[in-house]
Structure formats: structure tokens, C-alpha cells
Amino acid sequence: MENENIKSELLKNHPDYKEHQEPWIRMVKVDNVRRGIPLLVRVSALLGAMLTGAIIILAMGSNPVLVYTAMITESLGSPSVLRETIRIAIPLLITGLGIALAFKMRFWNIGAEGQIIAGGVAASYFALFWNGYLPYPMLLIVMFIAAVVAGGIWGMIPAIFKSKWNTNETLFTLMLNYIALEGLRYLQYGPWRDPRAFGFPIISPFPAEARLPTLFGVHIGWIIALLLVVLVHIYMKKSKQGYEISVVGESVQTARYAGINVNLVYLRTMFISGAIAGITGYVTVAGANGTISEEFTGGVGFTAITVAWLAKLNPVAMIVISCFLAILDKGSGPLVNSFGIPSSVAGIITGLFLFFMLGSEFFLNYRLVFRKKEEIKN
């Protein structure tokens, strides 16, 4: 203590001492980003993530080059793994589209998870109990409609409460996730439990009539996803309703001034947002899984938030981002077996890529200014 005081006194008497210094580092907002800079920043982020990941891989006793090569070959190297990767990308893409509509309106829908479950459960109901009453394609169509309506209603509930009582949609949508999940668990452990499953609490597989057909080896969910990209793009950019979403998102006051019925826009958009998440539930149960279980969403409802943000709510960019995340996911899976890297570390490496990608956005908007050297000397 005593020493510290003497030290600071000495410092003050030093001729170079300056009581108030210019801040060591400052942020400066960048107005006009030069062409090519965004690409440069993103590539550097990717390299930075790979380098940091390499340190962790080295610490685990593996060769980073081999690990990264394996990640690529395991996700893109052969038609069969490629199909697998696409299967992972489909729900991310569809859900991201739904979330983007809500986010464009600044309605923080983090309830896609619950909306996916609602859609999946509704589709499953028809798959499990209506087979034989409906001819082949009809069953799939009814399942689709059921998923859309159920997901839409699940999405619309928080909007109803927001428009009537101005509730916080972030908490509301989050809580509805748990309600949907517990509802599904109830069905799985109770009324929908498969009696022929040797006591395991599972729901029986769907009949073939309730399975989505495949094209090029992947269920046609990928066609639905691409179709939705086009539709959502047109809806956001060209339709009156899409225009209303942008206005409400920017300023509710302006929307009222323009004669837009803000509550109606909340309800309608959240119905569509939830309905699209419901479609994710549909393609997952009818396409990828062929049944429903409490884990069937795989956290897609949350990961898709990252997809929507990284793509800056642009539907076309979401194709790229969802594929990128799918590559990371698929590629990091086999690391456990081939390299003996714990799955938690594989998760850390995936997380690093996301961290660097999201963090790099900062450098597109801001530039850092360091204190100049000669000022320190002065």
C-alpha cells in the first residue's frame, strides 16, 4: 500500500507524466464499406477460427491439417455424406426463413423450437391415426396443412398477447417452447406410446404412406425449402404485406401514421413465421425421421436464429449459411471416432467458427483506432 503511493507520486513527478491520457483504443463507426472488404473480413474470420481451432486440436494431440481435411471429406467428400449434410441443412434453412420474417418485424421470436414441435405433433397425429382413411398423397397433404396450422397458431399466441396486453414476446415465445416440449413428452410417454416397443417409451414409426418421397436420395424437404426461399424472398421484397412488416419493424409509430393496422400485422406475420417453423416439423417427422420423439428438433429452432442473423435476414444468403452450419455439424461428428477427440471438443471447434463469424460482423461496422505512439512519448 505504502509502496504503491510512493510509486504513483514518483510517476507524477516524472516529466513525461500526463494525468489524463487519450484512451488507448477507440471505436470508430465506418460509414461506407469499401468493396471487397466484407469478403476479406469474413475470410480472415474463417482463417482465424481455423487457427484457433488448430491450437486446440494440437493440444489434444492430433494433426490439425488431418482433422480439417477429415471434416471436409466427412461432410462433402462423397455423395452419401453430402446427402447427409443436406439433410441437416434443410430444417435449419426452413426455420431460418420463418424466424427472419418475425425478426424483420423486430418481433423476437425465439419460439421456433416450440412451433416446430407443434407442427411435428400435428402432422404425426394424422400419420399415426388417419392412415387408411385417406388415399396416398392426400395423407401427406393433410399432414402438411395440419403442421402449417398448428405451427401458425403456436406462433400467433404470443402475438395475440402482445397486441392485447403488450407482453414481452421474447419471454413468451421462449416459455411456449417448454409447454410444447412437455406436451410432446406427455404424448410419447402416455397416449402415443408404442405398445409393441418392448417397453421403450417411443412412438411407432410412420407408415410408408406418411413418408415424404425422395429425389436424388434426399427427401423432398429440400425442394420445399428452396421453394420457400423463393416465396419468402418475394413476400419480403415485393408484397404489400412484406412492406408492412418492414415499416412495423422500423417504427410502430410510423406504421400507425401510415394507416397500417399494427396488431393485424403482428398476428399475420407470426402466424406465417410459426407456420414455416411448423413445416420444419413436418419435413423432419415425415422426411428425415419417419416418426416423432422428444428430441426430434435437435435444437434447430435455436440454431436457426444464428442462420437468420448471419444471413442478415436475406433468404438467399440463408442457403449458404445453413449449408455452412450443416458442414460444421456433419464434419465434426466423426472426429470422435477417427481422432479420439472428445465430442465436447468437437463442439468447441464448431462454436469457435460461429464465434468468429458472428464476431467479424463488428469489423464490418467499426474500425479500431489505437493511441498514436508519439502521443505516449510526449
Partner 1 sequence: MNNSAVKMVNISKSFGTVQANKNVSLEFKRGEILALLGENGSGKTTLMNMLSGIYYQDSGEVFVDGEEVVISSPKDAFDLGIGMIHQHFKLVDVLTAAENIILGLKGSITINRKKLAAEIREISEKYGFALDPNKKVYDMSVSEKQKIEIVKVLYRGADMLILDEPTAVLTPQESDVLFEMLRKMKESGKAVVIITHKLQEVISISDRVAILRKGELVSEMDTSDATIKSLTEAMVGRKVDLAIKREEPHFGEEKLIVTNLTCLNVEGHKALNDVSFSLRAGEILGIAGIAGSGQKELCESITGLYPIENGSIIYRENDIQSELRGLTPAEIIKKGISLAFVPEDRLGMGLVAGLDMVDNMMLKSYNLEKGMLVNRKRPKRVAEMLIKALDIVTPGVSTPVRRLSGGNVQKVLLGREINSEPSVLVVAYPVRGLDINSSYTIYNLLNEQRKKGVAVMYIGEDLDVLIELCDRIMVLCDGVVSGIVDATKATKEQLGFFMTSD
Residues that bind partner 1 (CB under 8 A): 18-23, 26, 28-32, 238-241, 243, 246-247, 250-251, 253-254, 256-261
- Alpha-carbon span 319 to 301, nearest angstrom: 16
Compare residues 29 and 164 and give the one whose CB is closer to partner 1.
29
Compare residues 107 and 172 and give the one whose CB is closer to partner 1.
107
Q: What angle do CA 370, 371, 375 make, to 5 degrees?
A: 160
- Alpha-carbon span 26 to 371, nearest angstrom: 8
Compare residues 7 and 256 and give the one whose CB is closer to partner 1.
256
Closest distance of CB 346 from partner 1, Å = 39
Burial readout 296-335 (b: 16 or more C-beta within 10 A, e: otherwise): bbbebbebbbbbbbbbebbbebbbebbbbbbbbbbbbbbb
Q: Is the separation of the CB atoms in 207 and 145 below 8 Å?
A: no
Q: Alpha-carbon Rg of the chain, whole angstroms?
A: 26
Q: Is the separation of the CB atoms in 368 and 362 below 8 Å?
A: no
Compare residues 258 and 316 and give the one whose CB is closer to partner 1.
258
Closest distance of CB 241 from partner 1, Å = 7
How distant, in Å, are the alpha carbons of 138, 232, 264, 305, 316 from that of 93?
Answer: 26, 12, 26, 10, 10
Closest distance of CB 222 from partner 1, Å = 27
Half-sphere exposure in the Cβ direction for 151 (13 Å, CA): 34
Neighbours of 236 (CB within 10 A): 20
Closest distance of CB 359 from partner 1, Å = 21
User: Which helix (DSSP H) or strand (DSSP E) does residue 28 occupy?
Assistant: strand 25-29
Closest distance of CB 274 from partner 1, Å = 21
Closest distance of CB 370 from partner 1, Å = 13
Closest distance of CB 195 from partner 1, Å = 49
Q: What angle do CA 350, 356, 362 make, to 5 degrees?
A: 150
Q: Is the separation of the CB atoms in 180 and 158 below 8 Å?
A: no
Compare residues 51 and 376 and give the one whose CB is closer to partner 1.
376
- Alpha-carbon span 245 to 42, nearest angstrom: 29
Compare residues 3 and 32 and give the one whose CB is closer to partner 1.
32
Compare residues 28 and 208 and give the one whose CB is closer to partner 1.
28
Closest distance of CB 36 from partner 1, Å = 17
Compare residues 138 and 368 and give the one whose CB is closer to partner 1.
368
- Alpha-carbon span 334 to 67, nearest angstrom: 10
